[in-house]
Chain A
Amino acid sequence: MNWTGRRLPRTEDPALLRGEGAFTADLAAGARAVRFLRSPFAAGRILSITAPDLPPGALLVTGADLEGVGTIRPELFRFNYRAIAQPVLPRERVHFVGQPVAAVVAATPEEAEDIAEAILLEIEPEEPVVTIDDALRPGAPILHAEAPGNTVVDGTIRHPDCQAAFARADRIVEFSLRSGRQNATPMEARAGLAAYDRATGRIRLTASCQMPHMLRTGIATLLGMAEADLQVVAPDVGGGFGQKMALFPEYPLLVWLARRHRGSFCWIEDRNENLIASAHSREQRHHLRAAFAADGTLLGLEADILANTGAFSCYPTTCGVEPLMALAEYPGPYRLPTYAARARALATHTCPAAPYRGVSRPVVTFGLERLMDRAAAALGIDPVELRRRNLVTEFPHVTPTGLTLDQASYVEALDRAAEAADIPGFRARQAAARRDGRYLGLGLAVFNERTGYGTPAFAARGMGIVPGYEVVDIAMTPAGDVEVRIGASPHGQGLRTTLAQLAADRLGLDPSRIRVIHGDTDRTPYGWGSFASRGAVIAGGATQLAADKLATRLRRAAARLLQAEPEAVTLRDGAAWAGEASIPLTEIARRVHQRSEQLSDLDGFNLAETAQYDPGGTFSNACHVAEVEVDAETGHVRVLRFLVVEDAGRLLNPLIADGQVHGGVAQGIANALLEEVLYAADGNPLTGSLADYLPPSAAEIPLIEIIHMETESPETLTGAKGLGEGGAIGAPAAIANAISDALAPFGVDIAELPATPARIRALIRNAR
């Protein structure tokens, strides 16, 4: 029986659906509540922090109390990175509205908020730098002395022959685009619970995080404590999307409190804090210039990329993650002979940026796919045909930025999508609708998604802390069940199900006998976490390797017990077989553990194994098609149809793969139409509640059709490729193209996302 590849319902779901999940807040009973007092100013000098008479048991912690605590200062050794430091609590200056300035502890969150309200925080406001233009203005205030010109990263890639390509071009297409700032808005906001264990003196931090091992390293370093004295647990985590990768000041502060005051302290972030003070992303401006031959061949590309990365640099990825991802991945799935680009990260007095599902590639794909549509119009070539002429068709292919594209189906996925979208039929409906004054549009987006990349890829970025590998410990219990301990830390991706399926096939066991253990630094091997579409590929590969090693041990034991050669033993249906003879795995497990004298000559024999996996990476690919109707009077966009042709290699569990696509597309549609973090000119956030920051509801998301292709990757052990981010990567571009198509009669070109109704109306009004 093959378990891998089946649409197995997730083992995670029943408890979640019954409301029996255990999230950090569910575990916080008995802990004292922490409320952070946050800066009301974008920029300013702290003059004083005065507390009223604190009720008994209440505490106030300010930067002055944190003697000896380090600063959050991630490193990058390339691209002119300037290391800037973020204090856990500032002593001198505040750098964004929402920055924690002090912490109040009380018996209940209500009481802590009452006290926090009464604290007198005296800040002398200074001139803030809020936008990209503010940051670049000559003579602008400088946020960090280490970063002159507010430029924290300044990377370039310049091929010497790029100019020549433009000189040779028949057509040059040039435009600017802008992506608004977004918040990943996980359903569960951040949360932490730090508890002191009197017996051992250790601290257990339970936190809604994506990288428990990394968080432990980061906090132990900041506080100068032994890493072994800190246990970090990620219990059920209600979504992360990258926002929960970073080391935020709130967590070390909780651990500091637990150590100093030998008690339990919890902080459950509220939605307002999450919206203004967790992590933002995607605020970027690109200027693109592309050279084309008359037949549509792309000859060269120039890109100037600016990212507003906020007040500090996120740990461990640094604020280089957005601009440098764009720098490296602009060529996308296209054959690009020559390339010149510059990418900068700019510091401003706004909430720091961190990775968010897709990291830059939603913006890059928006740029590239608008470019393809604009070029098609300029050259008079059908947009599908123009793409087809430029997509990479031979693999492996090395991009101008040095990335190797493994076997994929760029053209095939495009063709499948174009066919399923019935473009001729759509054009007829579009024409008929236009006669009635209705504006329908169809847009597509082709892209590839770099996934499952290990140490070399991260090392190439010059990161001070290089993630990449995953380790899996596997063991069979005396009762014959299998425990798989993983360093990765899923938070909604269903890895418990998928990894059990993989291990089940290697061990000839039912997946219900396999327990995947994750999210606890005491119980799992050191590992990185779930981000960058890596869980299934890397933790999956490591699980498969570990299971194979365990299978070898089981075969050896079975061979001894069955009096056969190990090579002749196979594992299936919960037993080991040698010809007609068999022995249940439960029996092998019992004998190995409890009757080891029978196997005593197998030296040091047990049923535990470890494996590590660290692949180079693989690119999945997809083509998204959006059909929209634009209400020209109100600027409102309704998504009528959304089609995804997805090729993520071998599908380990298609049900879970579909879920990843659905969620990603929903976020992508919201990024295209609804969600934007806005700041006033003085740096005050204007989108501090879900009445102003607009994640989609079910009503805004159409049925999402998915067609899977399975081009297995030669680069990964399982043949699988990652797909966690793709939904969010392609959807904004497809929607932007569809709106531009719908509004072609007005000559409207979408160059700014989200394409809000007010913006669309302004474009239509100005076009008229």
Chain B
Amino acid sequence: MKCPPFDYHAPRSQAEALALLARHGEEGKILAGGQSLVPTMAFRLARPASLIDINRIAELDYCRAEAGRLRIGALARHARFERLVAPGPTGALLARAAEHIAHAPIRTRGTFCGSLAHADPASEWCCIALALGAEMRVLREGGERLVPAADWFQSVFTTTLGHDELLAEASLPLLGPDWRCGFAEFNRRAGDFAVAMAVTALRLDAAGHVAGARIALGGVAGTPILAEAAAAALLGAPPTSDRLRAAAALAAEGFEPTEDAQVPADYRRDLVRAMTRRALEGSLAT
């Protein structure tokens, strides 16, 4: 469990980092918090020839509300979100989820954007990004593109990010007070990756009817997924306890669960039903 040999670069600016990425191509990898990359290298499952450490690039270290969106720079650490980074439902949801990510020492190093780039299917940030419709700002030498969350996740640990690209920023919509966000996660030990998680967002109109609904599930398939049928079933009516239950049941049926020795498929469906209902109920409780 020692890393294979690699070169190490510590650029001081975004431009320098992009140049290094262009130069090293497939052989290079960005090192952000290192909380996923370094263990993967220790197991020799990843063996980049060059590490491009972005931790000294001050211009990437920010998290600010701007024009209705929360802009999260590549060096914003998980721990930053434990306290409200913005008023309203978005900030509260992030704070709620942050405490579920690993343990304090890991949260002080791991980054929000690193989680999105790593794309663990059980990542809280990935699930929230999909639920709220995040947008990724991706840079490469001489180019830039914006990728909506719906197009970002390809499969386990795989995104649309190219080898020469840097995820410079992710942004989330700052939801208004008519939105209610919910979060529920199941894991066996505090700080473990989720066995199942649900992120929900409901918009209630003046009459108390559901006018908008998003439900995302994490840890249950190769990527975070949207439970669209379940969300649609909530629209146009008050979120009664029976309707939440019915939506949760739909969420549990509407996907192909990943299976492993410890988590059979039907158990994962049980968890999705429970987490979805709890997230929805929790979001309406306050």
Contact = CB atoms under 8 A, between A and B. Distances in A.
A691 B186 CA distance: 15
B114 to A, nearest CB: 18
A761 B196 CA distance: 14
B274 A758 contact: no
B188 A757 contact: yes
A636 B2 contact: no
A633 B271 CA distance: 7
Interface string B4-17: 11000000000000
Contacts of A680: 261
B270 interface: yes
B113 to A, nearest CB: 22
Nearest to A632: B274
Contacts of B1: 113, 270-272
Interface in A678-708: 678, 680, 686, 689, 691-692, 694, 696-697, 699-700
Given A694-B189, A761-B267, A113 B262 contact: no
B190 A109 contact: no
Contacts of A678: 261-262
A697 B190 contact: yes
- Report which residue of A634, A756, A761 has the largest number of chain B beta carbons within 10 angstroms of its beta carbon: A634
A762 interface: yes
Contacts of A92: none
B263 A699 contact: no
A382 interface: no
A699 B190 contact: yes
A127 interface: no
Contacts of B208: none
A634 B261 contact: no
B2 A696 contact: no
Contacts of B188: 636, 674, 694, 756-757
Interface residues of B, number: 27
A624 B260 CA distance: 34
B267 A758 contact: yes
A674 B2 CA distance: 27
B39 to A, nearest CB: 8
Contacts of B261: 678, 680, 686
Contacts of A633: 270, 273-274
A124 interface: no
B43 interface: yes
A701 to B, nearest CB: 11
A755 to B, nearest CB: 12
B193 to A, nearest CB: 7
A756 B262 contact: yes
Contact of B5 (A109, A110, A635): A110
B44 interface: yes
21 contacts: A109-B2, A113-B2, A113-B44, A117-B44, A272-B43, A635-B270, A636-B186, A686-B260, A689-B43, A691-B192, A697-B189, A699-B189, A699-B190, A700-B189, A700-B190, A756-B262, A757-B188, A757-B267, A761-B267, A761-B270, A762-B264
Given A270-B1, A686-B260, A765-B266, 15 more contacts: A110-B4, A113-B1, A113-B4, A113-B44, A271-B1, A272-B1, A634-B274, A635-B267, A636-B188, A674-B189, A692-B262, A699-B189, A700-B189, A757-B186, A757-B195
Interface of A: 109-110, 113-114, 117, 270-272, 631, 633-636, 674, 678, 680, 686, 689, 691-692, 694, 696-697, 699-700, 756-758, 761-762, 765
